[in-house]
Amino acid sequence: MTSLPESEATPGILEPHAAREWLETMTLIRRFEERAGEMYARAKIGGFLHLSIGEEATIVGSTRALKETDYLVSTYRSHGYALARGTPPEQVMAELFGRVDGCCGGHGGSMHMFDLSRRFMGGYGIVGGNLPIATGIGLASDYTETDDVTLCTFGDGASNQGTFGETLNLAALWRLPVVFVVINNQFGMGTSLARHSAVTDLQRKGESLGVPGTRCDGMDVTDTHAVIAEAVNRVREDRRPVLVESVTYRFRGHSIADPEEYRSKEEVAHWRERDPIPTFGELLEGDGILDAQARERIDREAVLRVDCAVEFAEASPFPTAESLYEDVYILDQRSRGDYSVRTTGSQEPSSDSAQSSSGEVPRRITTALELSEEES
């Protein structure tokens, strides 16, 4: 088991308003994830469900290091990142329920959260599949000469994927503004770090590829923020990628279906002693930023917000059968779809999609492909 890094940051460096907001967001994520697990057990949520209970400090500390114009790419454990980035809990819960008012119209589900308006670019179900996508976003920022930074999170298991080496090599070679954050929660699914990676000091895994690394205490929101904020600033100024290892722990299984036979209750209890939410709350209380009553009020408000999110999701309708072919590429004799370039956003779709400029290119591509298919 990886030892916990010592934290040098203190909550005293935070403005009281920011400190309260961080605690509120971590608490909201915790209560949201707990309720999501309950809804899954009640068959309100289908498919897979990966909860981030225990990793709230990593989520909030990293997202608060970004500007609104920066991009965020996460793994399939994505609910907390959507919430931290500002997606309303009602939309996140509705997406879990597969309803039209979800952030992806009910088409994405748990593993594919996406919110373009907040530059949260997903939510990816393939282990390591988000790495080249994040680097592509970094290439776009470089190509358009903006100072936007892309922060890409991935698990310790993904650091063994081929996409890890390929992506970091290109990001370093092309000097792309990407901060790679490997979330070391000690297990790749049910396999411990020491059993799946020859190099357990994950911050060093990018060195041979030209990507320097550092480490933060992922159970401490202030240390996480301090380290990742420094990395983001460095990448923004130097236009070169950085790898950050966030040492954390998930208190629940890899997914809801995980029997957790690979770790002991004593190990989980050991890490729960450093639960990031009560630990941060106690530090803020000790600094006089808030009192016990304020902490209780924050928790009650989080529970209420989640209650409202569940009610909203329950009331939202399911997508229509006709929407099955929206935003997908289909070429089939029975069902002809379009090569879609429209992504989920806050803008309203055109009332006349056949004449809209956004639909013209997809239709031309589709027509060309259909002709090619007929000729072959």
Segments of the chain assigned to CATH 3.40.50.970: 11-315
Task: Provide the 10 A C-beta neighbour count for residue 354.
Answer: 8
Query: In this predicted structure, what is the pLDDT of residue 333?
Result: 59
SS3 160: helix
Query: In this predicted structure, what is the pLDDT of residue 134?
Result: 97
Query: In this predicted structure, what is the pLDDT of residue 353?
Result: 42
The two tokens of residue 167 are: 């992506």
CB 81 within 8 A of CB 246: no
Q: Using one digit for the tens of pLDDT, what is the confidence trace for 95-105?
A: 999 999 999 99
Q: Using one digit for the tens of pLDDT, what is the confidence trace for 183-233?
A: 998 888 888 888 898 888 999 999 999 999 999 999 999 999 999 999 999
Query: In this predicted structure, what is the pLDDT of residue 349?
Result: 41
Query: In this predicted structure, what is the pLDDT of residue 331?
Result: 56
Query: In this predicted structure, what is the pLDDT of residue 190?
Result: 85
* % pLDDT > 70, the chain: 84
Q: Using one digit for the tens of pLDDT, what is the confidence trace for 243-279?
A: 999 999 888 878 887 778 888 889 888 888 999 999 9
Query: Which of these, 300, 289, 212, lies nearest to 12 by C-alpha position?
Result: 289
Query: In this predicted structure, what is the pLDDT of residue 359?
Result: 58
Query: In this predicted structure, what is the pLDDT of residue 352?
Result: 45
Query: In this predicted structure, what is the pLDDT of residue 262?
Result: 84
The two tokens of residue 105 are: 């119209």
Query: In this predicted structure, what is the pLDDT of residue 254?
Result: 83
Amino acid (one-letter) located at 163: T
Query: In this predicted structure, what is the pLDDT of residue 43?
Result: 94
Query: In this predicted structure, what is the pLDDT of residue 13?
Result: 53
Question: What is the fold of 11-315?
Answer: Rossmann fold (3.40.50)
Tell me the average pLDDT of the chain: 87
End-to-end CA distance of the chain: 57
> Which residue ranges of the chain lie beneath pLDDT 50?
1-12, 340-357
Chain position carrying tokens 């041979």: 208
Alpha-carbon distance values, 342 to 20, 86, 117, 339, 361 (Å): 37, 22, 13, 9, 11
Query: In this predicted structure, what is the pLDDT of residue 193?
Result: 86
Query: In this predicted structure, what is the pLDDT of residue 357?
Result: 47
